[in-house]
Amino acid sequence: MWIFPNAEPWVWGDRTYLMGVLNVTPDSFSDGGEFAVLEAAIAQAHHLAINGADLLDVGGESARPNAAAVSLDDEMQRVIPVIQAIRQGTAQAPPLTIPISIDTTKAAIARAAVQAGATIVNDVSGATYDPDMLTVVAELGVPLVLMHLRGTPKTMQQLTDYGDVVQEVGEFLQQRIEAAIAAGVSPHHIAIDPGIGFAKTPQQSLELLRRLPELKALGYPVLVGVSRKSFLGKVLDQPDPKQRLWGTAAACTGAIAAGADILRVHDLPQLWDVARVADAIWRHRP
């Protein structure tokens, strides 16, 4: 269970929780630049919150394949004003109490974001890029999402040689869980993410979705991010990420059936409908 101020407790297995993507970057793979201006970012935050998001995931550095690294100062200038404006409100929009995750691999960004009002740290490197990340998260006392990734966004798609992708992803995540706990992060604050599409071929991404119960067996809530991703484009022969909504819906349904606890999505309210129906089938939700 995760508990946040001014929100219902998150009870794992009760229903699927939706993480709405709020990229405030100029170069994200499917919506780069759309929300880089503060007013647009705040409008999108309200759109996601009104239409079913349980959580907003604010990111200031793209992790798409071949993305360039972003300096700490640039990332700070992108994400902190947005988090502050979501929490404090603006002349055009009232404040939101919805939980916010900061999508970052930098401990300094995580600290500043939580001080500004974020409530979760979402680290796509599994807290391997910054040696201070686990200590900082433990000190902040907030939940942490650990994702599997090899290399960097520039190199990851050349690092897809696995013997058994599910086994090796599971081993990495188990190691990162143990490192987080050793650093003082509460086991009750940890979630894991197999990193669909990150250092994975399309077939490996599909294999991870098929065998998701093997990762659930690690005993931690599982976040799955399939929204608009290139493996769906391969299946659908669809190069435009924004035209992959129904493929995303199918992949999200499969992930819920396999036990996913959180879905990271772009398209709301459409994916809210998908999650509610899938929960009614597999989680016996009314």
Tokens of residue 181, six digits = 């706990």
Amino acid at 187: P
Three-class secondary structure of residue 78 per DSSP:
helix
Pick the catalytic residue: 264, 276, 283, 285? 264
Return the biggest CA–CA distance within the chain: 55
106 has catalytic annotation: no
Pick the catalytic residue: 200, 228, 229, 244? 229
264 has catalytic annotation: yes
Q: How many CB atoms lie within 10 A of CB 106?
A: 24
Pairwise CA distance, residues 21 & 17, whole Å: 13
Q: Which residues are catalytic?
A: 229, 264
